[in-house]
Amino acid sequence: MNAIYILWLREVKRYVRSRVQIIFSLAQPTFYLLAFGFGFGPVFEKAGEGNYLQFLAPGVVGMTVLLSSMFSGIAVLWDRQFGFLKETLVAPVPRIYLMIGRTLGGATIGMFQGALILLVCILAGFRPQHWINLVPAFAFVAMIAIPFAALGMTLGSMIKDMEGLNLASNFLVMPMFFLSGALYPLSHLSTVLSVITHIDPLSYGVDGLRGTLLGVWHFSYSLDSLLLCSLAAIFLMTGAYFFSKIEI
């Protein structure tokens, strides 16, 4: 268990030391929040859907956690390039522990960035239904961060070059975000689009955030949490398998 803690702490320290990364990681979500929130707000309100900033904020938080967690797999490539990964893999520790430690480190970073962008949302005018709702909302932040950090680690274990990892991550991240209901309601969609949004795992994370923060659910608390926890277990096992196949 010490290995899990050490690797978790290493990932968190590496992020905290990079002040530039902290600042620029918030740039894209803040842009989406301000550009879409205030740009499409009047249109959304005229359509009878209420305040668009209130609707959009949980989706932007979900996007922030997704981006940060998925790209945590890049750390595997950096460690492989500079030799730290070899030192880790030769340690007399089950590789599932190494995978869990790194995944929890990436998930913690995603949760931290999600908290920062939620603060930005509140400063921009977002208000939860009740302030106490922030507590269960962070449970969903964790349920988004852990499976996607595990997925990022899986990709980082499978792909050996930075360009390939960036392409694969972007190929997954952008469709998941745009089809998750982060930018528009999932009701009244066409049959094909509705099926796709139900397959998208981020849909359940965004719905969980929106439900806990605003009391508006498209699915349900039990379905959202069950599916996200199941995905976390699946991606952790898959990531541990591919992580164990890394050649040193």
Tens-digit pLDDT profile for residues 54-64: 999 999 999 99
More confident of the two residues 203 and 170 = 203
- Quick check: 176 pLDDT over 80? yes
pTM (predicted TM-score): 0.88
Sorted by sequence, the CB contacts under 8 Å of residue 223 that are 6+ apart come out as 204
Residues 22, 120 contacting (CB under 8 angstroms): no
Let me know how long the chain is.
248
Residues 156, 77 contacting (CB under 8 angstroms): yes
> What tens digit of pLDDT does each residue of 204-221 get?
999 999 999 999 999 999
Sorted by sequence, the CB contacts under 8 Å of residue 241 that are 6+ apart come out as none
* Amino acid in the structure at residue 196: I
> What tens digit of pLDDT does each residue of 96-146 get?
777 888 888 888 888 988 999 999 999 988 999 899 999 999 999 999 999
DSSP H helical ranges for the chain: 2-17, 19-25, 27-39, 41-46, 52-70, 74-82, 84-89, 95-124, 134-158, 162-178, 191-199, 201-214, 221-244
Rounded-to-integer distance, Cα 42 and Cα 126, Å? 16
Mean pLDDT, residues 144-157: 89
Q: Which two tokens stand for residue 202?
A: 């981020």
Task: Name the one residue in this structure whose structure tokens are 């940060």.
Answer: 68
What is the distance in angstroms between the CA of the first residue and the CA of the last residue of the chain? 23
Phi, psi of 50 (to 5 degrees): 90, -155
pLDDT band at 34 (very low <50, low <70, confident <90, very high): confident
